[in-house]
């Protein structure tokens, strides 16, 4: 198979590229390196530094599948990044859809589980949540309008090697690990009892590959069944806590819908507790 991964130099994308190459595929990464890193490059992948808005101007041909992971993906920060969110999540995804339509290739679209948050209110709680939810509708309409083969996946709080550790786009497990390393207090955003289904990146990649091979349609959730509150995660790390004020767009819960992905043979293999223990033993290297 000849596969394109948008966001292939990012956290999840680099792990997906690694797996796809290992499985014998020809893999092309398209990444503008806004949050991706050349440190995440994988041997055997062709890397193109470009924005997804420009995918149709690239000299690509005979593509079988596009895994579209290369969108803006932060909830709270999206209120301050409106232009970036719009360009990436609306313009970029439209360009990718047009590319797939012209190429007659399958699209695996990384939707956002935020739209399931707080009994469906999550889709409108942030610019990020709204753009992702409406993109899901557009992707499914392309399937109906143009018979484009599509599958929509939903990740739940990915963690694991290559997480963004520093800066405003850092993810929670990485933030706590960095704070532990520096003997700082663990910053828990109030109310602290908001639940998250933390899912190891390799479990997510296993689900992505299965959906890419076998899945068609919507609602392919890829998330661990076990949920932890942010307060509980801080307790797993064992450090002192510091509580921060509530933030806009910070949902309390989200429904985990993994039935369709499980029907393809997917199941989780990794547990957050074990990963945190390994971080302590390895001093977060």
Per-domain boundaries in the chain: 2-282
Q: Residue 120 has what pLDDT?
A: 64
Under CATH, which architecture does the 2-282 domain have? Answer: 3-Layer(aba) Sandwich (3.40)
Q: Residue 285 has what pLDDT?
A: 47
Burial class (CB in 10 A: 0-12, 13-18, 19+), 102: exposed
Q: Residue 75 has what pLDDT?
A: 85
- Sequence-ordered alpha helix ranges (H) in the chain: 11-22, 82-85, 93-103, 117-120, 127-146, 172-181, 201-214, 230-237, 259-262, 272-282
Q: What is the pTM of this model?
A: 0.92
Q: Residue 169 has what pLDDT?
A: 77
Q: Residue 252 has what pLDDT?
A: 67
Instruction: List, run by run, the mean pLDDT of 10-residue segments along the chain (285 residues).
Output: 97 98 98 96 98 96 97 88 94 98 97 73 83 96 98 95 84 92 93 93 98 97 94 94 85 80 97 91 53
């Amino acid at each position: 198979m000849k596969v394109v991964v948008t966001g292939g130099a990012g956290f999840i994308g680099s792990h997906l590229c690694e797996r796809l190459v290992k499985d014998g595929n020809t893999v092309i990464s398209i990444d503008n390196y806004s949050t991706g890193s050349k440190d995440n490059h994988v041997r055997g992948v062709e890397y193109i530094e470009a924005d997804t808005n420009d995918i149709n101007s690239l000299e690509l041909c005979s593509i079988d599948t596009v895994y579209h992971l290369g969108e803006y993906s932060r909830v709270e920060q999206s209120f301050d990044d409106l232009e970036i969110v719009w360009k990436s999540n609306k313009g970029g995804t439209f360009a990718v859809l047009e590319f797939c339509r012209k190429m007659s290739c399958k699209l695996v679209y990384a939707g956002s589980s935020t739209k399931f948050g707080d009994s469906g209110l999550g889709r409108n709680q942030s610019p990020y949540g709204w753009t992702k939810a409406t993109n899901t509708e557009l992707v499914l309409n392309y399937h109906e309008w143009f018979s484009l083969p599509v599958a929509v996946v939903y990740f739940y709080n990915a963690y694991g090697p290559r997480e963004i550790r520093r800066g405003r786009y850092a993810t929670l497990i990485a933030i706590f690990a960095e704070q532990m390393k520096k003997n700082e207090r663990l910053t828990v955003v109030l109310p602290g009892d908001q639940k998250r289904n933390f899912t190891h990146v390799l479990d997510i990649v296993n689900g992505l590959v299965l959906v890419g091979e076998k899945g068609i349609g919507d609602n392919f959730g890829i998330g661990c069944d076990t949920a932890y509150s942010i307060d509980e995660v801080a307790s797993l790390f064992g450090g002192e806590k510091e509580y921060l004020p509530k933030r806009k767009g910070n949902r309390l819960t989200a429904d985990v819908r993994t039935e369709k992905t499980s029907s393809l043979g997917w199941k989780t293999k990794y547990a957050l507790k074990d990963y945190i223990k390994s971080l302590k033993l390895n001093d977060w290297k």
